Amino acid sequence: MRKYAYFLVNVFAESHFGGNPLAVFYEADGLNDAEMQLIARQFNLSEVVFVQSSPLPQAVKKLKIFTPDYEMPFAGHPTVGAAFVLHSLLHLPADYFLQTNAGLVEIQHQGELITFAINHGAEVEDAPLTKEECAEILGLTVDDIASSPSWVNTGAAQLLVELSSEQAVKNCKINANLFIEKAVSKDNIPQMYVWFREAQQAKVRLFFSSQGAVIEDPGTGSAAANLGGWHVKQSLTPLELRILQGDEMGRPNRLSLKVDETNTIFVGGKVIQVGKGEFYLP
């Protein structure tokens, strides 16, 4: 019987039952991709992250990130959660790199705040959807759609749709059939990130599909990074935002987004450990 230890943490959390839940397998060198996929399906969280040795000398560790259905090249809350666990266990410095399938990610620790940095730019392209189609997918009116939608990718591709009010963000009711048909990335993954910004705060929600069902993610670091990439494309930087997500699900998440003068994107939040255990494999 093989045993693999893990921590349960809540990422982007400011209270014990807030944030986005995550399992971190911090010594996963003996696991293959098929086993990691099965474990992720067993946990049935948004993602599970597996920490393995990295072949790159500049990286402390390599992260393998799985949803219940597939492996992701990059995701924000598993990266921040893994950094929290590794920083504690390995007594790491305040600044280091982790390897992901999307490339090296710089990690910074400032007190309780854990931040990842993206400085390789963002892929931004107009989405082949009208405002009317977006409104139909989201169960809103055309007046609720503030600007034309864009596909943005700083590590994971998502469809970004700016809305005209915080109430419009709260009112979203997804048409599952249209969502799965029209909000699909080049990798055939439906994801839509809706947002409304007022001053230095943004209210957001992220929807994705799993096995034909539409699911809401309580806290999405990769989408926050994409929001930063969108602002870079629009020449609306430098930028600092506090992001509110997950309240509609009873899982409040609070993320920080910063884009500096060099257009480097920083996304961060706090992490709370809520449990630990062992997973058994034959």
Catalytic residues: 47
Instruction: Please report, as a single letter, which amino acid is at residue 163.
Output: L
C-beta of residue 170 within 8 angstroms of C-beta of residue 246:
no
* Residue found by looking up tokens 């854990």 in the block: 114
Q: How many CB atoms lie within 10 A of CB 94?
A: 10
Which of helix, strand or coil describes residue 199?
A: coil
Q: How many CB atoms lie within 10 A of CB 273?
A: 16
How buried is 128 (Cβ within 10 angstroms: 0-12 exposed, 13-18 middle, 19+ buried)? exposed
C-beta of residue 202 within 8 angstroms of C-beta of residue 244:
yes
C-beta of residue 40 within 8 angstroms of C-beta of residue 32:
no
In 3D space, the residue among 152, 93, 160, 163 whose CA is nearest the CA of residue 118 turns out to be 152
Instruction: Please report, as a single letter, which amino acid is at residue 274.
Output: V
**CA distances (Å), origin 138, targets 93, 151, 172, 195, 264:** 44, 16, 5, 12, 31
Q: What share of the chain is helix, strand, coil (3-state, %, to 5)?
A: 25, 40, 35
How buried is 176 (Cβ within 10 angstroms: 0-12 exposed, 13-18 middle, 19+ buried)? middle
* Residue found by looking up tokens 């009711």 in the block: 173
Structure tokens at 22: 């995550």
